[in-house]
Amino acid sequence: MIPAKFDYKPAQSKEEALSLLAEYGDDAKLLAGGHSLLPLMKLRLATPEVVVDIGSVDDLSYITDKGDVIAIGALTKHRQVEQSDILKEHVPLLAHSASHVGDPQVRNRGTIGGSLCHGDPASDLPAAILATRATLVISGPSGDRTVTSDDFFTDFWETEVKEDELLTEILIPKCTGEKWGFQKFNRRAQDWAIVGCAVQGGDNPGIGMVNMGSTPVRAAEAENALRSGSSSEEVAELADSGLTPPTDIHGNESYRRHLAKILVQRALDN
Amino acid sequence: MSIVGAKVIRKEDPNLLTGRGQFVDDIQPIGTTHMAFVRSTEAHALIRNIDVTAALECEGVVGVWTAADLNLPALPGVPGLERPALATGKVRFVGEAIAVVVAESKYAAADGTELVIVDYETLEAVTSIDEATADNAPLLYEELGSNTVAEVTTADDHQAIFDGAPHTETIKLVNNRCTAAPIETNACLADYGPAGLTVWASFQAPHHLRNRISAWLGIPQDQCRVITPDVGGGFGQKINFTPEFFVAPVLSKILNRPVKYSQTRSEAMTSMYHGRAQEQEVDIAFDDNGKILALRVFASQDMGGYADGTGMGMPVLTTAMSAGCYVIPNVSIAWRNVLTNTTPIAAYRGAGRPEATYLIERAMDHISYKLDMDPTEVRRQNYIPKDSFPYQTHSELAVYDSGNFEGALDELLNIMDYEGLKEEQNANRTNPEKPLLGIGFSSWLEIAGFGPPGSLEGFGHLGSWESVQIRIQPDGSAIIYTGASPHGQGTVTTFAQIASEYLGIDFDKISVRHGDTATIPQGIGTMGSRQVAVGGEGVKNASLKIVENAKSIAAHKLEANPEDIEVTDGNLFVKGTPSKSLSWAEVATFSFQRLELPEDMDPGSLDTTILQEVPNFSFPSGAYACVIEIDKQTGDARIRDMYLVDDCGTVINPLLAEGQVHGGVAQGIAQALFEEFTYDENGQPTTATFIDYLMPGAPDLPSYKSGRINTPNPNNSLGAKGIGESGSVGTPPAVINAVVDAVRHLGVTHIDMPATPQKIWEVLQGGSK
Amino acid sequence: MNYPTSMTINGTNYAKSVDPRTLLVHFIREECGLTGTHVGCDTSNCGACTVLLDGDAVKSCTVLAVQANNHQVTTVEGLASENGAFSPVQEGFRQEHGLQCGYCTPGMLMAATALLKEIPKPTEEEIRQNLEGNLCRCTGYEMIVRSVQWAADNPDGVPVAIGENS
């Protein structure tokens, strides 16, 4: 399978990328690692006229300790997230979640920003971003703006990032020493989760769910129970509450609801 | 030490390990064009119009053709049911070829196919046997009046035995539709020039393809050459005639340029023939001891959108082998072939025998459920005794050659701790921390070594022999040419081992050539686990014939009697007088020199061709056990251990035999737990990529524990039976028997393949039987 | 519009002007004639196209050639040493029958090479997990696992003449 023709515009800097986006508008797509966009282009489910390659913008690839938060450049690859000592210490949930994305080859190319901007409810990283209550920095023609992870995922494969904008940075509050858990249920190791969950403990705990709705979602009622000190059984029982999981060939809605409860309990107990 | 039976590493590997293998898509003659198909997006529809204007204007497109443009005859197939090369008026499955684009590059060809607009009139689709056989079902061929294209009823349903039996059971089974999915998809390259046609094809039987292409195009076979270079897996899926192999030569002739087709995975998933897709109704009658009194099988074979000859034969093989390893005094068989709006069905590794083994091995466990007997004991009650061979079954096709089925079970129980596992199973059931444990058995038997005269002719092949030509070169090295056409089995190595053993020529001085109709005298091909049992026997016999001639030459030169000449370590010498000796090189050189030969011998005597026949099929057998762990909360089933005892008769190379077993077992596990090709109610495939069709990877499969017994094949002198399909035949029932065993305490008696976590969870919830 | 693309593959520089949609795997195979790298699927699942990009294993069907512009690529043709001696991974696959049809093999070799660079003595589980992105239909994987273990146990390789009995 082969992508349709497009014009290729490599950008050397964030500013150049933004100016190319301003120039080509909704005819353009951003290419980072390519592991969300290229599969769609190969199947011709995406046929952009212009591809703006930001893969060489080096100053968007970093993991930095900024005191209360860890800042991650949007072009940081899954592999770097997975292996980062800073993240292992301060946001271990995210480092661990990254180790479950795809397979080693995918993790060597795919970027955290690309994964988040794809907005796929079946992806692992959005759940971790929701659970850790990250803030996302979006750059646009009129400068930077920040949105919370709750506001970031707007619809199926849709995010808050507009056509002329670029996700540049992910800011995650440190969760040093807090409990966390990650569970991914799939049939083959390389598959997307049938259901997954990312649980972050602490004062303001978060539970991000994978494949439990049309967007990456938090299990808000379970979070409330967790915050109020309920037992893991009680929290897990609410894991699917208010959510509308899909039915597909890998699992129907009731099975996904059941899995959500089991996985949240395991994430809390392990 | 004998080289037959030795663990020899492969001659094939150095090329393949360095990127020097040559697969079809690696071959690119100057001027090559690229072909791509426009494929049906409808399961059942009339084609009202095909608009190719935009595609013709596409940059790089050389031409676009539909059936109307080319006016091609139907492809070779079942008389009266042949499929068109390109759809004519009607499409019968998603993925059927409708039009063909040729372009200067792969990329331009892909662009061209996107621009062809097909106007369909959608018809109601039938996607299952039930739908296809319902009253007033939509018909794939209106003119036939039915979707059932063949039906064979039983001569005697043995109803009286069932009426009088202490116990009876009826079991309904679905053998799930799978696709073999070799990692190399279909590919071909056709170059039709003034001197004739050459087709490079990823195929398992080059002569078979050559014969059909030449007949179809009306060109003499001498001017039609088929080459099967390195072939990236086949598993039966590459012995089928799909349109590309016929359309590419036609377009090459029109364009006077080479035309290459390298299929995408998405195309392969819907257009390469699928396998299995068989539904079975099984009735068994048995006594209080678990002895089976009668077996009644009705197999419904889903044919997909077109009836393939091999596909039609699947239930024939299933019903012939339905009695398995057991003495069953009364067997009643019937079957039918039913068209549906799905990808056509043909052979997939095992081809009809996995379906047979699954039904009889599930039946054995049903007896154990009913009588509360150990499943190994039920099998012991019914085994054909080891001194009963040859054993005539209910089927004239199946006269079992040899075997020791109870011996295989004994060896299996020897390499596993069955009693310990049963204790663990009991303990785990009440321990919430532990998974449910299931132990499943399969005493399997298959029909292989295809086959005796007439057996492959029925599937459209020229004969049932295999060709072997051995030519000794002047320096004493040997080249073997064979019609066997391997694609991973290691035949170059095993044939060289056999030849080395019987020629007395060093293994490193023997080459094996295959896969080229211009250099191989004739050939049948690789299918039905036949290479060693048929072709290997030919290598031995050709070697012996050459040695006989070589001895005559040596005797002449050494002034001795031919019967006193011995061959050892690359030399021919007079028995008892090692100093009177000639090297193979010397004898080989003399064989080309008139003045060095005995008067009654012509030059060139160390060159012989054999079309090796065998008097019977072979019947590899064995006993497998699967130990499975099931997560009580999620229903996730993970295999902890697979214990495998094979009896393939004589083993030529234990390393390669083990590899064949592993690969087959992996495909069997895949069928039982992971894979199923499915459609929605409109006939749209729902598993047409490797994202949704769950071919397992390394972390998803267990390691394998092997044992072996050996009852030699009495019908060839090597004693070999074949091992290519054993794993895929024996494994699925072992896995499903284990899954059911794990949840038996809940009253469960069956879970359909693939046993997905959701299905098992539903059973754990009491949501299913 | 074509885009000038230059990269070093197995130590040799290739500079071509390519349609920017050209996938790296097609650049390697068709522009550079290195056909050892294969394509087995459309969806980044099978890993037959795995190459090393700046030393990391990637699926070259999911990378545009232009994305590899000015980078270093290693393919299966670059594994053996200049005198033709097999790398430990190549030798391991030969010794332990880690391949049958050989089509997925180049991708397996590259993924295994990357694995051993990161984890020189992997456990069986680590081998299986790290090969999760490579599908093989022939072997059932156990002999691939043994092949990688062989390479881990013999980091200097052991050249064995073709056909010599083990």
pLDDT digits (tens, 9 = 90+) for A8-21: 999 999 999 999 99
Nearest Cα neighbor of C48 from B181, A210, B723, B282 is B181
3-state helix, strand, coil in chain A (%, to 5): 35, 25, 40
Share of chain B above pLDDT 90, in %: 97
Could you check whether B13-123+183-233+238-271 and B278-450+616-764 share the same CATH topology?
no
Task: State how far residue C12 is from chain B, nearest Cα, in angstroms.
Answer: 16
Task: State how far residue A189 is from chain B, nearest Cα, in angstroms.
Answer: 6
Disruptive mutation site among C29, C38, C41 for chain B (greatest number of B CBs within 10 Å): C41
C-chain residue closest to B653, CA distance: C165
> pLDDT averaged over chain B?
97
Per-residue model confidence (pLDDT) at position C160: 52
Q: Which of C19, C79, C165 comes nearest B107 by C-beta? A: C19
C-chain residue closest to A109, CA distance: C58
Residues of A in contact with C60 (CB under 8 A): none
- Given a cut of 80, whether residue B29 has pLDDT beyond it is yes
Per-residue model confidence (pLDDT) at position B458: 84
End-to-end CA distance of chain B: 57
Picking from B44-53, B77-86, B114-123, B486-495, which range would have the lowest pLDDT averaged per residue?
Answer: B77-86
Distances (CA, A) of B675 to B220, B225, B276, C100: 43, 37, 12, 22
Domain end call among A138, A173, A208: A173
Instruction: Give domain status of residue A2, yes or no.
Output: no
pLDDT tens by residue, A47-74: 999 999 999 998 999 999 999 999 999 9
Contact predicate B366/B169, CB 8 Å: yes
Neighbour-count burial of B386, counting CB atoms closer than 10 A to its CB (0-12 exposed, 13-18 middle, 19+ buried) = middle
Q: Provide the residue ranges of all domains of chain C, joining segments of one domain with +.
A: 3-78, 88-153
CATH number at residue A35: 3.30.43.10
Contact predicate A152/A123, CB 8 Å: no
Per-residue model confidence (pLDDT) at position B744: 96
| List of residues 6+ apart from C23 with CB closer than 8 A | A2, A3, A42, C60, C61, C62, C63, C64, C65
Instruction: Map residue B366 onto helix, strand or coil.
Output: helix
Nearest Cα neighbor of B706 from B641, B750, B631 is B641
Instruction: Give domain status of residue A210, yes or no.
Output: yes
pLDDT tens by residue, C9-65: 999 999 999 999 999 999 999 999 999 999 999 999 999 999 999 999 999 999 999
Residues of A with CB under 8 A from a CB of B: 1-2, 4-5, 43-44, 185, 187-192, 194, 249-252, 255, 258-259, 262
pLDDT tens by residue, C82-105: 888 999 999 999 999 999 999 999
Residues of C in contact with A39 (CB under 8 A): 43-44, 62
Nearest Cα neighbor of B86 from B73, B105, B102, B104 is B73
Per-residue model confidence (pLDDT) at position C118: 97
Read off the tokens for C15.
């500079």
Disruptive mutation site among A2, A31, A103 for chain C (greatest number of C CBs within 10 Å): A103
Contact predicate A175/A91, CB 8 Å: yes
Contact C133 A55 (CB under 8 A): no
Contact predicate B485/B514, CB 8 Å: yes
CATH number, domain B13-123+183-233+238-271: 3.90.1170.50
Residues of C in contact with B496 (CB under 8 A): 163
Contact predicate C109/C52, CB 8 Å: no
Contact predicate B742/B426, CB 8 Å: no
Sheet holding A7-10, edge to edge: A7-10, A50-53, A28-31
pLDDT tens by residue, B445-478: 999 999 899 999 988 899 999 999 999 999 999 9
Helices B309-320 & B353-371 angle (0-180, nearest 10): 30
How many CB atoms lie under 10 A from the CB of residue A233?
A: 11
pLDDT tens by residue, B142-169: 999 999 999 999 989 999 999 999 999 9
Residues of C in contact with A53 (CB under 8 A): 64, 66-67
CATH number at residue A165: 3.30.465.10
Q: Mark whether A68 and A45 lie in a shared domain.
A: no
Long-range contacts of B658-661 (CB under 8 A, 24+ apart): B658/B706, B658/C97, B658/C143, B659/B490, B659/C97, B659/C100, B659/C138, B659/C139, B659/C143, B660/B489, B660/B723, B660/B724, B660/B726, B660/B727, B661/B704, B661/B706, B661/B723, B661/B726, B661/B727
pLDDT tens by residue, B468-477: 999 999 999 9
Read off the tokens for B326.
């057991």
Please tell me the number of Cα atoms within 13 Å of C90 on its side-chain side.
24
- Given a cut of 90, whether residue C162 has pLDDT beyond it is no
Contact C57 A108 (CB under 8 A): yes
Contact B17 C94 (CB under 8 A): yes
Nearest Cα neighbor of B647 from B407, B421, B307 is B407
Rounded to the nearest 5°, which phi and psi values hold at A99? -70, -10
- Given a cut of 90, whether residue C157 has pLDDT beyond it is no
Contact predicate B391/B330, CB 8 Å: no
Share of chain C above pLDDT 90, in %: 91
| List of residues 6+ apart from B297 with CB closer than 8 A | B280, B281, B282, B318, B319, B322, B331, B332, B333, B334, B335, B359
> pLDDT averaged over chain A?
96
How many CB atoms lie under 10 A from the CB of residue A204?
A: 13
What count of residues does chain B have?
Answer: 769
Residues of A in contact with B634 (CB under 8 A): 185, 259, 262
pTM tops 0.90, yes or no: yes
Q: In the structure, what pLDDT confidence band is assigned to residue C166 with cuts at 50, 70 and 90? A: very low
Strand A63-65 to A69-73 pairing: antiparallel
pLDDT tens by residue, B578-602: 899 999 999 999 999 999 999 999 9
Q: Mark whether A109 and A208 lie in a shared domain.
A: no
Rounded mean pLDDT, A251-258: 98
Q: In the structure, what pLDDT confidence band is assigned to residue B769 with cuts at 50, 70 and 90? A: very low
Is the Cβ of A43 closer than 8 Å to some Cβ of chain C? yes
Q: Mark whether A262 and A196 lie in a shared domain.
A: yes
CATH number, domain C88-153: 1.10.150.120
Residue A187's domain comprises 181-269
Q: Which of C21, C47, C61 comes nearest A6 by C-beta? A: C21
Angle at B291 between CA B285 and CA B295, to 5 degrees: 35
Instruction: Give domain status of residue A126, yes or no.
Output: yes
How many CB atoms lie under 10 A from the CB of residue C156?
A: 8
| List of residues 6+ apart from A167 with CB closer than 8 A | A74, A113, A116, A117, A136, A137, A138, A139, A159, A161
Instruction: Give domain status of residue A253, yes or no.
Output: yes
Q: From CA C57, how far away is CA C38, in angstroms rounded? A: 14
Q: HEC profile for B680-717?
A: CCCCCECCCCCCCCCCCCHHHCCCEEEEECCCCCCCCC
Per-residue model confidence (pLDDT) at position B126: 98
Contact predicate A71/A169, CB 8 Å: yes
Nearest Cα neighbor of A2 from B385, B101, B720 is B101
Total tally of structural domains belonging to chain A: 3
- Given a cut of 80, whether residue B442 has pLDDT beyond it is yes
Q: From CA B697, how far away is CA C136, in angstroms rounded? A: 7
Q: Which of A43, A55, A105 comes nearest C133 by C-beta? A: A105
- Residue B383: DSSP 8-state: B
Rounded mean pLDDT, B474-492: 97
How many CB atoms lie under 10 A from the CB of residue B291?
A: 17
Q: Which of A3, A41, A105 comes nearest C59 by C-beta? A: A105
pLDDT tens by residue, B397-415: 999 999 999 999 999 999 9
Helices B491-503 & B537-558 angle (0-180, nearest 10): 30
pLDDT tens by residue, B219-278: 999 999 999 999 999 999 999 999 999 999 999 999 999 999 999 999 999 999 999 999
Task: State how far residue B634 is from chain A, nearest Cα, in angstroms.
Answer: 7
Task: State how far residue B234 is from chain A, nearest Cα, in angstroms.
Answer: 22
Q: Provide the residue ranges of all domains of chain B, joining segments of one domain with +.
A: 13-123+183-233+238-271, 278-450+616-764, 465-612
Residues of A in contact with B111 (CB under 8 A): 2, 4-5
Per-residue model confidence (pLDDT) at position B569: 85
What count of residues does chain A have?
Answer: 270
> Which single residue is written with the structure tokens 């808000």?
A220
Per-residue model confidence (pLDDT) at position C159: 56
pLDDT tens by residue, B747-764: 999 999 999 999 999 999
Contact predicate B265/C40, CB 8 Å: yes
Strand A195-200 to A206-210 pairing: antiparallel
What's at B606, amino acid-wise? Answer: L
CATH 3.40.50.970 for the C3-78 domain, yes or no: no
Helical spans, DSSP H, in B276-352: 309-320
Per-residue model confidence (pLDDT) at position C161: 47
Q: From CA A113, how far away is CA B585, in angstroms rounded? A: 68
Residues B589, B593, B595, B597, CA torsion sign: positive
Instruction: Map residue B576 onto helix, strand or coil.
Output: coil
> Which single residue is written with the structure tokens 């062809």?
B116
Contact A188 B106 (CB under 8 A): no
Q: Mark whether A68 and A121 lie in a shared domain.
A: yes
Rounded mean pLDDT, B288-296: 98
Sheet holding B704-708, edge to edge: B436-445, B621-630, B637-647, B704-708
Helical spans, DSSP H, in chain A: 14-24, 37-42, 78-83, 85-90, 92-98, 104-109, 112-118, 125-131, 149-152, 220-227, 232-237, 253-269
Q: From CA A127, how far away is CA A208, in angstroms rounded? A: 4
User: What architecture is domain B465-612?
Assistant: 2-Layer Sandwich (3.30)
CATH number at residue A255: 3.30.390.50
Per-residue model confidence (pLDDT) at position B155: 87
Please tell me the number of Cα atoms within 13 Å of B8 on its side-chain side.
29
For B278-450+616-764, the fitting CATH number among 1.10.357.10, 1.10.3720.10, 3.90.1150.10, 3.30.365.10 is 3.30.365.10
Per-residue model confidence (pLDDT) at position C165: 42
Is the Cβ of B14 closer than 8 Å to some Cβ of chain C? yes
Contact A249 B678 (CB under 8 A): yes
- Given a cut of 70, whether residue B674 has pLDDT beyond it is yes
Contact predicate B179/B272, CB 8 Å: yes
Is the Cβ of B17 closer than 8 Å to some Cβ of chain C? yes
Rounded to the nearest 5°, which phi and psi values hold at B374? -65, 135
| List of residues 6+ apart from A89 with CB closer than 8 A | A176
Read off the tokens for B102.
């040729």
